[in-house]
Copies of this chain bind each other. A is one copy, B any other.
């Protein structure tokens, strides 16, 4: 293995055999041009693969000038990679034999497995077991194949090979792979490697993500995802990859978590998108919201440096598109650079008198290639300019080719990103291809071009600060484990009793207002006397979800006499409004002073595990859905940034002369809740509603808590 990738193979599960095989066998090679087994062998040969190629087919003699072996057993030595295209019902035997002779890597292109139903799933599981038992790892089944443009090797049935480049592509859809290759060829966009993940029966997206993270030929990882096999593993892989290079993904399809019935506010607000959005902030990663953004953003990141700051200089030969780009600038989180001093003097020297010297710099419709070049050179040299965007509209006197030449001459190797928007089609097409092939991205519409530049800057912001470690508090985790254990033994989904909820908070150092359960008025009176008036009385019943709606809550009870009447009223109210509800008793709670109300909670994503939520409390949480989510484990920065993410943040930081709330106390509660959720996988949902927050220095307190286990 000397001289091959320096990646340490003891950790990586995607061995070099997949991307850099010295020999390979096409098992199921065919002499019929309409068959996939023909296309794959042809692609391997036509791609210029330099390693040894075997073809396996029991019937054929010679296919595409390669002598066929009748079966795997007759190969002279085990190939590094087996590409399997035999019918589904022959795959198990083929893979078993491959593993038997010492093949360590296989790409199963054949379809007819999990995607066809329960029988197919069984077959798929058997294939994976056979491979693993024999020390072999598999890509697929039901995939397009694998491509490494650098080797080169096209071990797929894609019609064509993408150009060589530095975007590594992972896709859970084979059809998307073929479309991406098609686009790449048309637009001059280059890929390093392309992996069609198929059913991901053995090796999954995270495995190849790890491999691309280590791949020196790959500068950007672009993924098309429909789901992930293990969210926590994926989070870790993205985090690791993102330290080395930008990770961009497009996510299609809704996961099941969105559809699942939720027993809490947090659960009902945690849609399938929350986890992916949280992943982007925390890993970090860049999410593309359309397929074209996936391509354009990946290309820009692969070919251009990321901007060091938000200041963009905008060069144009027409006012309208300049306005469009300027509009998009602020929306993209960027700003137009201020043109002054030496740069301004320089521009004055060569620009026509009617040109706009201020950003956007309008060279006018008469601008020739030289003028574009001078402007670009001057602006790139300005230390206050972080990026340059060049708009060209094909007008009567425009030198499209010459301008492209100038841009290529000046921008190639510049330390600042240059993004072009040559508008139109017919008359700029050839030059756009030339620009993109040479590593200058072009986005046909100026607003989109600005958006891409903004996403590049987002990467800059993401990597600017190192990610801190998750914080651990000294807590009594064991007490909570044994408490939860008692519930879970009884089976199914369970709600903790209000008192047990308090015990959990207590064990994790989360402040709460005292609460006691009473089964009758006498008990309620005793508890109230102990904790001191005023108190709050609430009905306890599994059937009553919204207590206020049925008269099940009485606030601010100031003495024993009031308590007695409140108790009687409450019981009769609930009996009248919900005759079917079984009343389990009442809770007596110390009335706490008013403050700003938040809702805080935990939901569990079936793929990503626990998510922590925070939002503005009261009925507003339902109306405005002003909530933020983070995956567990959370860092202190996550806690701070999720509060900042709320539109209601200004209600916490203080508006209209109000003093700021105790934000530090809320952040600590968030981190303690994150630790609680992380340490107890059986905690399925949790709502703290409200968390009352006092002025800075005065802390916060949980008033009502619901915890659901199992699920």
Write the residues of chain A forming the contact surface with B, with a CB cutoff of 8 angstroms. 34, 36, 39, 116, 157, 159-160, 171-176, 178-179, 181-183, 185-187, 224, 226, 252-254, 290-292, 317-321, 323-324, 326-327, 354, 365, 393-397, 423-429, 444-448, 546, 548-549, 619-620, 622-624, 626, 647-648, 650-651, 655-657
Indicate whether A252 sits within 8 Å of B323 (C-beta atoms), given known contacts A549-B657, A655-B619: yes
Indicate whether A423 sits within 8 Å of B318 (C-beta atoms), given known contacts A622-B655, A623-B648, A626-B624: no
Most buried by B among A36, A159, A171, A224: A159
A649 to chain B, nearest CB (A): 9
Contacting pair A365 B175 (CB below 8 A) = yes
Cα–Cα, bound, A186→B394 (Å) = 14
* CB-CB nearest 6 A-B residue pairs: A173-B320, A175-B318, A182-B424, A186-B425, A175-B393, A179-B423
A141 to chain B, nearest CB (A): 14
16 additional A-B residue pairs with CB within 8 Å, beyond A179-B393, A182-B428, A549-B657: A160-B427, A174-B318, A176-B321, A181-B424, A182-B424, A226-B320, A226-B323, A253-B326, A291-B324, A291-B446, A291-B447, A546-B657, A619-B656, A623-B648, A624-B647, A624-B648
Task: List the B side residues contacting A36 at CB < 8 Å.
Answer: 396
Task: List the B side residues contacting A397 at CB < 8 Å.
Answer: 34
The residue of chain B having its C-beta at the shortest distance from the C-beta of A316 within the complex is B175
21 CB contacts below 8 A, A to B, read A159-B394, A160-B426, A160-B427, A173-B318, A173-B321, A174-B318, A174-B320, A176-B321, A179-B321, A179-B393, A181-B424, A182-B428, A252-B320, A253-B327, A290-B448, A291-B445, A548-B656, A623-B651, A623-B655, A624-B626, A624-B647
Contacting pair A173 B319 (CB below 8 A) = yes
Contacting pair A394 B292 (CB below 8 A) = no
Contacting pair A116 B327 (CB below 8 A) = no
Task: List the B side residues contacting A185 at CB < 8 Å.
Answer: 425-426
Contacting pair B623 A178 (CB below 8 A) = no
Cα–Cα, bound, A343→B185 (Å) = 39
A357 to chain B, nearest CB (A): 14
Most buried by B among A182, A292, A626: A182
Indicate whether A187 sits within 8 Å of B425 (C-beta atoms), given known contacts A174-B365, A254-B327, A393-B179: yes
Indicate whether A178 sits within 8 Å of B292 (C-beta atoms), given known contacts A254-B327, A319-B173, A327-B254: no
Task: List the B side residues contacting A181 at CB < 8 Å.
Answer: 424
Contacting pair B321 A175 (CB below 8 A) = yes
Indicate whether A157 sits within 8 Å of B656 (C-beta atoms), given known contacts A319-B173, A320-B226, A429-B186: no
Contacting pair A427 B182 (CB below 8 A) = yes
Indicate whether A159 sits within 8 Å of B656 (C-beta atoms), given known contacts A174-B365, A175-B321, A619-B651: no
A60 to chain B, nearest CB (A): 19
Most buried by B among A318, A324, A397, A549: A324
Cα–Cα, bound, A252→B327 (Å) = 7
Cα–Cα, bound, A323→B254 (Å) = 9
Task: List the B side residues contacting A648 at CB < 8 Å.
Answer: 623-624
Contacting pair A317 B175 (CB below 8 A) = yes
Contacting pair B396 A157 (CB below 8 A) = yes
Task: List the B side residues contacting A157 at CB < 8 Å.
Answer: 396
The residue of chain B having its C-beta at the shortest distance from the C-beta of A116 within the complex is B354
Cα–Cα, bound, A424→B177 (Å) = 10
Contacting pair B186 A426 (CB below 8 A) = yes
Cα–Cα, bound, A254→B323 (Å) = 9
The residue of chain B having its C-beta at the shortest distance from the C-beta of A171 within the complex is B320
Indicate whether A179 sits within 8 Å of B447 (C-beta atoms), given known contacts A226-B320, A318-B174: no
Cα–Cα, bound, A546→B451 (Å) = 39
A36 to chain B, nearest CB (A): 7
The residue of chain B having its C-beta at the shortest distance from the C-beta of A328 within the complex is B290
Indicate whether A252 sits within 8 Å of B179 (C-beta atoms), given known contacts A174-B365, A186-B426, A425-B187: no
Task: Give the residue of B224, B291, B318, B396 whose beta carbon is less than 8 angstroms from that of A176.
Answer: B318
Cα–Cα, bound, A644→B116 (Å) = 46
Task: Give the residue of B179, B320, B396, B624 whose beta carbon is less than 8 angstroms from that of A394.
Answer: B179
Contacting pair B394 A178 (CB below 8 A) = yes
Task: List the B side residues contacting A448 at CB < 8 Å.
Answer: 290, 292
A591 to chain B, nearest CB (A): 21
Indicate whether A656 sits within 8 Å of B546 (C-beta atoms), given known contacts A318-B174, A393-B175, A426-B186: yes
Task: Give the residue of B425, B429, B624 whose beta carbon is less than 8 angstroms from that of A624.
Answer: B624
Contacting pair B444 A292 (CB below 8 A) = yes
A332 to chain B, nearest CB (A): 13
Task: List the B side residues contacting A324 at CB < 8 Å.
Answer: 252, 291
Contacting pair B656 A395 (CB below 8 A) = no
A689 to chain B, nearest CB (A): 13
Task: List the B side residues contacting A548 at CB < 8 Å.
Answer: 656-657
The residue of chain B having its C-beta at the shortest distance from the C-beta of A651 within the complex is B623
Contacting pair A394 B425 (CB below 8 A) = no
The residue of chain B having its C-beta at the shortest distance from the C-beta of A549 within the complex is B657
Task: List the B side residues contacting A175 at CB < 8 Å.
Answer: 317-321, 365, 393, 395, 423
The residue of chain B having its C-beta at the shortest distance from the C-beta of A354 within the complex is B116
Most buried by B among A34, A317, A424: A424
Most buried by B among A181, A445, A622, A648: A445
Cα–Cα, bound, A397→B159 (Å) = 10
The residue of chain B having its C-beta at the shortest distance from the C-beta of A649 within the complex is B623
Indicate whether A447 sits within 8 Å of B290 (C-beta atoms), given known contacts A320-B175, A393-B175: yes
Cα–Cα, bound, A423→B183 (Å) = 8
Cα–Cα, bound, A327→B254 (Å) = 7
Task: List the B side residues contacting A321 at CB < 8 Å.
Answer: 173, 175-176, 179
Most buried by B among A157, A175, A429: A175
Task: Give the residue of B39, B395, B546, B619 whose beta carbon is less than 8 angstroms from that of A396.
Answer: B39
The residue of chain B having its C-beta at the shortest distance from the C-beta of A397 within the complex is B34
A257 to chain B, nearest CB (A): 15
Cα–Cα, bound, A554→B153 (Å) = 80
A448 to chain B, nearest CB (A): 7
The residue of chain B having its C-beta at the shortest distance from the C-beta of A187 within the complex is B425
A555 to chain B, nearest CB (A): 16
